[in-house]
Amino acid sequence: MSSPLMQAPPGSRGIDDLLAEARARLVRVGPRETHRAMARGAVLIDIRPAAQRAEHGEIPGAVVIERNVLEWRLDPRSDARLPFTHYDLEVIVTCQEGYTSSLAAAALQDLGLLRATDLDGGFKAWQAVGLPTI
């Protein structure tokens, strides 16, 4: 017998569904492709919290914008936007393993940054192929 607290409300979707829907809209990029994209001017956004960056390291050249303020910093309409933000911005979002970054990149697309995507496998994948970290 299942508890009423464990019955999903009508119309709700689970995280697996949300993640699949987000990824269906993205053209995800791997670590080497991300590295090449950064060399041509794409902006890599690291949304990991400070503790995670301190424990695992960072990607040189990545712009740190923690997840809780991402949309405000990258929405061209926002008063809190960063100066480099514009609708045609090629932005790649990374997290530790590439899950939260997919949801974040889809949210950026919803704001009109249609070239937003994420780093498939996140920082962990970047590190695994031997790309530079600090």
> Is pLDDT above 80 for 1?
no
**Domains of the chain listed by start with CATH number:** 32-128 (3.40.250.10)
List b or e across 80-94, with b for residues whose CB sees 16 or more CB atoms inside 10 angstroms: eebeebeeebebbbb
pLDDT number for residue 2: 61
pLDDT tens-digit readout, 76-113? 999 999 999 999 999 999 999 999 999 999 999 999 99
pLDDT tens-digit readout, 104-123? 999 999 999 999 999 999 99
